[in-house]
Amino acid sequence: MFFGFDDNQLAFRDAVRDLLDKQCPPDVVRAAWDGDLDLGVWRALDEMGVTTALVPEPAGLGLDELSLALVLEETGRAGLPHPVVDTVLVAAPLLATHDDVSDAPSPGLVVTNLGGPNVTCAADADRFLLKAADGLHLVEPDGVSLAPLDTVDGARRAARIEWQPVAATLLTDDPAEVASAFDRGAFGTAAQLVGLAQRMLDLTVGYVSQREQFGQPVGAFQAVKHHLANALKELAFARPAVHRAAHSLAVGADSRERDVSMAKAMASDAARYVGRQALQCHGAIGYTVEADLHLYLKRTWALAAAWGDAAWHRDRVCTALGI
Amino acid sequence: MDLTWSPAEDAFRAEARSWLTEHLAAWQDRHGGEPASGDTREGFAQHLDWERDLFAGRWAAVSWPAEHGGRGATLWEWLIFEEEYYRAGCPPRVTQNGIFLLAPTVFEFGTPEQQAHILPRMAAAEDLWCQGWSEPNAGSDLAGIRAKATRVDGGWRLDGQKTWTTRGAFCTHLFGLFRTDPESERHRGLSYLLVPLDTPGVTVRGFGRLDGDEGFAEVFFDGAFLADDALPGGVVLGEVGQGWSVAMATTGSERGLTLRSPGRFLATAGRLIDLYRADPQPRLREQLVDAWMRAEAYGLFTLDTVTRLSGGAAMGADSSINKVWWSELDCDLHELALDLLGPDAELEGPWSKGWQFALSGPIYAGTNEIQRNIAAERVLGLPRK
């Protein structure tokens, strides 16, 4: 029994954290709202092997979901606007199975509607992985038309996809493969929510430690302490659920659907809860688009609802438990 | 990450399961099928019978070394044992305040002579220990302790009062904090003393807890003479004047890992699911699954903690959020059971009993308000002032 991560997994996380600290600061997240999606950080992640982490060697790193759990938390923590869940977790392993990837191991920027109708980074995508009645299709940009959406988190860069499935684009019609792809996406989103919650908590601890009222840091007031202790608690107990889901996916456990759903439900609830406490403890400065908090708060709202919201996943756990 | 148990751990589980199942049934039979609450005088005696059975099977304190009455189990095996213990439906441990609260301190601060005397007798339920920390005016603010121990020829003279002493009326010994330096204030000048309750001048009065059982006691010290040699190895644990740090060194065990193992809550969640299945009420389904997930998350959190402890890390301030989590979870599990029972929730029974007990969780072992302060200051690093 060992409920932890090995040195390689920790080193992978540290490397990605360093990269994101440098190449995905809040400015890059802000730029994604109005301007272009910064492709520098995406290329750097690609060079590090993140985008093909789940692709078997030699084309990819041949890793599993467990090796990505902490990396995904880091992408959430950084507020990385790129479709890392869609591309890395959902699309890349499917492409490796069904498409010849030996020449071009990098999957490019692939987005999907498997987690919901609002497809993130749709206009930036190289390819689309789209769900239809007969399975999953891999579609080139000229095969879709996009209806851009006005999202609360501008960095979602989301659109609805209009397209017609044709036999030539069908990638897989295996329901088990589609279900697995969905579970990987839900797990990846849960891991990002944990990272987002950590970021919001860290920002808030920093803020309340220096902001003074009544002659002392507001973080010294018990009311503020208790809000943040509760936030810490919800986050601390959601995180191991996400790590267990990663393990269940990696080993193909019978309980993987249940475990992924528990993880997504708990991570969605925890991140939204942490977000509310974070905003409250920031006070008015948090209620602006000038402070960074809103970047992570709005992403949290979007991801909590994507890939099945907490209620949907709780329902799936109920089914697994036979209640 | 490896979430499988070794063959040796599986064998340990099988041995525990079979022993507990067999002996639990025999114990229940010996006491009319349904032993009384361990927090009543009659029930306490019945539970001692169970405790002595556990000791005879070397299950009373599995993680202790064999020479003190344990079987040198690893933390993982301890978790397995606890899971099996509660899954089988075994009763609350009436010896737990000694085994889980005093013993870790004896292991850390006791002399070899103290360890050799205290621990085996505790495991065997020959000496029954209760905690004498809180006082009428020193609860959450424990450093406000006023009970004093004055140095006299050959021992200590004890004066003052302790209260909220769980099962004090049925115990034989008390471990307590006393002010040994009359000039001292707050955390300084306290000593950790071990007191036989039959010492003349010590009076114990049991009184009813919320559920009416005599599970609480207050203990009065009226010039009681505690001789230095009242216990082999002496009556002071650690150094005189260092009582606060001696006591605090092991409070992590109380809040965190040892007092409330996940097995207990997972078993409760399992029984709650059984209760639901017997009479499904879809309006409560989402709450039910939420409660189950929270119990499961506590189990996972504990696996994470034990992994870190096994790697040499210390139980840190994160035991504070742990305590808030399990104590609120226990309330939620029982409150939901009452909802499922509907009008019959008002009847005396295991769920209403468990509910009333669960309500004490957010209060004892440091109130959850204090735990939140600790989490905020020592885990998050928020300013004290």
- Read off φ and ψ for residue A159, nearest 5 degrees: -150, 155
Report d(CA A294, CA A301) in Å as an integer.
10
What's the gap between Cα A43 and its chain centre?
A: 18
CATH topology of domain B129-242: Butyryl-CoA Dehydrogenase, subunit A; domain 2 (2.40.110)
Average pLDDT on B245-256 reads 73
Nearest Cβ partner for B379 among A230, A232, A317: A232
End-to-end CA distance of chain A: 29
CATH number of B253-379: 1.20.140.10
Cis peptide before A25 (omega within 30 of 0): no
Q: Where are the beta strands (DSSP E) in chain B?
A: 129-132, 148-152, 155-162, 173-179, 190-196, 202-207, 216-227, 236-237
Predicted confidence (pLDDT) per residue in B20-62, tens digit = 999 999 999 999 999 999 999 999 999 999 999 999 999 999 9
Q: Which residue of A has its CA nearest to B287?
A: A314
Contact A3 B377 (CB under 8 A): no
Average pLDDT in chain B: 95
Which residues are B17's β-sheet partners?
none
pTM over 0.90: yes
* CB pairs A-B closer than 8 Å: 138
Spell out the CATH class of A176-321: mainly alpha
Whole-number pLDDT of residue B255: 53
- pLDDT tens, N- to C-terminus, chain A (323 residues): 999 999 999 999 999 999 999 999 999 999 999 888 999 999 999 999 999 999 999 889 999 999 999 999 999 999 999 999 999 999 999 999 997 666 667 889 999 999 999 999 999 999 999 999 999 999 999 999 999 999 999 999 999 999 999 999 999 999 999 999 999 999 999 999 999 999 999 999 999 999 999 999 999 999 999 999 999 999 999 999 999 999 999 999 999 999 999 999 999 999 999 999 999 999 999 999 999 999 999 999 999 999 999 999 999 999 999 99
Tell me if chain A has a CB within 8 Å of the CB of B364.
Answer: no
Chain position carrying tokens 């709780």: A314
CATH number of B7-94: 1.10.540.10
pLDDT band at B252; cut points 50, 70, 90: low
Domain ranges of chain B: 7-94, 129-242, 253-379
Predicted confidence (pLDDT) per residue in B261-298, tens digit = 899 999 999 999 999 999 999 999 999 999 999 999 99
| Bridge-based pairing state of the strands A110-112 and A127-132 | parallel
- Cβ proximity of A147 and A118 under 8 Å: no
| Bridge-based pairing state of the strands B173-179 and B190-196 | antiparallel
From B83, B84, B218, B254, active-site residue: B254
The dihedral through the CA atoms of A168, A170, A174, A177 has a sign that is positive
Whole-number pLDDT of residue B260: 81
Burial class (CB in 10 A: 0-12, 13-18, 19+), B11: exposed
How far off is chain B from A244, nearest CA to CA, in Å? Answer: 8
Rg (CA), chain A: 19
Contact B286 A314 (CB under 8 A): yes
- Residue B254 annotated among the catalytic residues of the structure: yes
Neighbours of A237 (CB within 10 A): 23
Structure tokens at B211: 């559920």
Report d(CA A129, CA A110) in Å as an integer.
7
Alpha carbons within 13 angstroms on the beta-carbon side of residue B39 total: 20
